[in-house]
Amino acid sequence: MVESLTKLKARVDDYLAANLPKDIDQDTLAASMTYSTMAGGKRLRPTLTLATVLTLGGQLTADVMRAATALELLHTYSLIHDDLPAMDDDDLRRGQPTNHRKFGAGMATLAGDGLLTLAFQWVSDNHLAAPVRVELTKKLAQAAGPAGMVAGQARDIENTGHRLSLDQLRYLHRQKTGALIHYAVLAGGIITDQPAPVRQLLVQFGDSYGLAFQIYDDLMDVVGTTAEMGKQVGKDAGEQKNTYPGLLGVAGAEDQLHQALASARRTQAELARVTGKSFAAYDDFLAYFKL
């Protein structure tokens, strides 16, 4: 039986609280890295990995927790750097002042650098089988690096103020937000040593889910509130960012969201058919989208 999302999130929170401070050897840097990591994120990415591991018959050992939770460190780095004055220049994140507002841009940059680097330490320095650690490290680098999230961020910066086509926007989102979610689901398949067809279905689910997640985030910037999102909303249009509602209108974006969710549900059913296991745990993740 897969644990509830609330319980998985609590496991991630507990693991981070207990282990992050051990690996930082400078007081202000530790405060800055811990501040953003423990500021109350949803823990979507590591919980996707953990739910996938449990669904596929794996156990949440300390080593699995370390490898899975590494992704939350990396995700937090991306948020800190995204908020910096040189990027989005945001004041609020996870309902609290952004890292550079509290610690200054220099320390915030270093907190991000520290979290990114520590993520690779956690994913490689554990007792999982060596081929598993190598595969996780390689796939995480591909997802987060200059052909993944960093490329998406570069595309976003370069194209702000230029209207992209729907295909171009989808590609940007696939890199910027989708790549880490793709990795989150795949990591569960790598940890439990799944055959190639199952891994293929896992990434297909991750890709559809990641797309839905980004469209929803774009929509919430238009129709959501700061209290709901924990960050300033309504910024995208003013900054001429490329977004789904900007390109297609709210109704068009909602339609794309429905299509992405339908595709994720089809893949969820196919995963159950191919593996003979219940993928009901993914229902909790799909329930995130309130339409």
Site size toward ligand GRG (CB under 6 A) is: 16
The answer to the question of residue 150 lying near ligand GRG (CB under 6 A) is yes
Q: Which of 191, 252, 173 is nearest to 51 (CA)?
A: 191
| Contact call for residues 126 and 119 (beta carbons, < 8 A) | no
Site for ligand GRG in 185-204 (CB under 6 A): none
CB atoms within 10 A of CB 205: 27
Contact track, ligand GRG, 251-280, x by CB under 6 A: ------------------------------
The answer to the question of residue 174 lying near ligand GRG (CB under 6 A) is no
Give the residue, chosen from 109, 126, 153, 267, that forms a contact with ligand GRG under the rule CB under 6 A.
Answer: 153
The answer to the question of residue 126 lying near ligand GRG (CB under 6 A) is no
- Give the number of C-alpha atoms closer than 13 A to the C-alpha of residue 176, restricted to the C-beta side: 21
Q: Which of 135, 126, 14, 130 is nearest to 63 (CA)?
A: 126
The answer to the question of residue 176 lying near ligand GRG (CB under 6 A) is yes
Angstrom CA distances, 176 to 2, 103, 162, 172, 258, stand at: 29, 26, 17, 6, 20
User: Which residue has tokens 């689901």?
Assistant: 185
The answer to the question of residue 236 lying near ligand GRG (CB under 6 A) is no
Binding piece for ligand GRG, criterion CB under 6 A, among 38-46, 117-125, 127-135, 238-246? 38-46
Q: How far is the CB of 24 from ligand GRG (least distance, A)?
A: 20
Give the residue, chosen from 12, 33, 44, 107, that forms a contact with ligand GRG under the rule CB under 6 A.
Answer: 44
d(C-alpha 156, C-alpha 152), whole Å:
6
Residue ranges binding ligand GRG (CB under 6 A)? 41-42, 44, 75, 78-79, 81-82, 94, 149-150, 153, 176-177, 214, 217
